[in-house]
Amino acid sequence: MITVATTPVKTYLSKSKIPGFDYVINPYVGCPHKCVYCYAEYMRKFTGHAEEWGDFLDIKTCEVPLRPFKLFRTRVMLSSVTDPYNPYEKQYELTRRLIKQLIVCQAQVYILTKSALVLRDLDLFQQIPGCEVAFSFSSTDDHFRQLAEPGVSSVSDKINALKTLHKAGIKTAVMGAPLFPGISDWQSIIEQTRPYVDRYGFDSLNMRPAYQKKVLAFVARHYPQTLPLYSDIFLQEEPTDYWQKLGEEILSYCRQHHIRAEVYFGSSRSYSGG
């Protein structure tokens, strides 16, 4: 059972720390998608909630509208620490209202989601020049999705949404992230989505100490055969070259197949134009 409440904020905008974006908008606090690896979970300590992350959702309210003079031609991302198309968005339409304001402001809009609900706002995206919608995929295995990302749209629904967006002329991207060693099949992510995707990004599984126990318990329970690999990568003092090699492998494949891709791990952030 999820607790839903409203929380007043002074502004919906946050200055972006993500390269390439001026502002980030997180319309909600919390995320009912409940991904086992959720990096946004640290937000809970700022909320005063006793519930677990994923068991509460605060809907932000703000009396001050987004200002065109501030946002004109800026790059705005929705969202970084919540999914702007969580199931409650269907009822509350907060993301939709904010996108309508961003159209008035003539901001450039970039959406990052794991939900096919994003298709509801296709009519709005078509009014925004250069608008891009990105889907995250850790895997194309729907069993993994059910275990690790229980609230997220099915793999086939995400692929169909990409298809619809692409057909409608919206720029699309896939973030292959986070990649689970020995579990995520990055080549399958590309192969199953390539006809409908303009560019790819890939990121590693981040094992900050706060998440490590939970993620390793997940792996031990559902994918025990991969545990030795996780031990090598995450638990040894000697750094491993696993990510370096994986990044090179992905970029080499993308170069060979003329696929536009970035890899956000390994020795450097790399790029292959396609």
Instruction: Dihedral sign for Cα 66, 43, 125, 173, please.
Output: positive
Q: Which is nearer to ligand SF4, 38 or 159 (CB)?
A: 38
How many chain residues touch ligand SF4 (CB under 6 A)?
9
- Type of residue at 270: S
Position 13, amino acid: L
**Residue 31 vs 128, nearer CB to ligand SF4:** 31
Q: Which one, 85 or 243, has the nearer CB to ligand SF4? A: 85
Place of tokens 């090179």: 248
Residue range at the interface with ligand SF4 (CB under 6 A); choices 35-43, 59-67, 87-95, 253-261: 35-43
257, HSE (Cβ side, Cα atoms, 13 Å): 16
Per CB under 6 A, 193 contacts ligand SF4: no
- In whole angstroms, the minimum distance from the beta carbon of 259 to ligand SF4 comes to 24
Judged by CB under 6 A, the residue of 83, 132, 185, 262 near ligand SF4 is 83
23, 49, 75, 82: which one binds ligand SF4 (CB under 6 A): 82
Residue 35 contacts ligand SF4 per CB under 6 A: yes
Q: Which C-beta is closer to ligand SF4: that of 33 or that of 49?
A: 33
31 counts as binding ligand SF4 under rule CB under 6 A: yes
Report the residue from 9, 21, 22, 34 that binds ligand SF4 according to the rule CB under 6 A: 34
Which residues are CB-neighbours of 222 under 8 A, at least 6 positions away? 147
Q: Which of 13, 28, 29, 33 binds ligand SF4 (CB under 6 A)?
A: 33
Residues 89-148 that bind ligand SF4 (CB under 6 A): 114
Is 82 or 272 the residue whose CB approaches ligand SF4 more closely?
82
CA end-to-end distance (rounded Å), the chain: 46
Determine the length of the chain. Answer: 274
Task: Give the whole-angstrom CA distance, residue 5 versus residue 44.
Answer: 14
Nearer residue to ligand SF4 within complex by CB, 52 or 191? 52
Q: Which of residues 148-177 bind ligand SF4 (CB under 6 A)?
A: none
140-148, long-range: CB < 8 A, 24+ apart = 140/185, 140/188, 140/189, 140/192, 141/185, 144/180, 144/183, 147/36, 147/218, 147/222, 148/35, 148/36, 148/37, 148/180, 148/218
- Residue 177: both structure tokens together: 């992230």
Per CB under 6 A, residues contacting ligand SF4 are: 31, 33-35, 38, 40, 82-83, 114
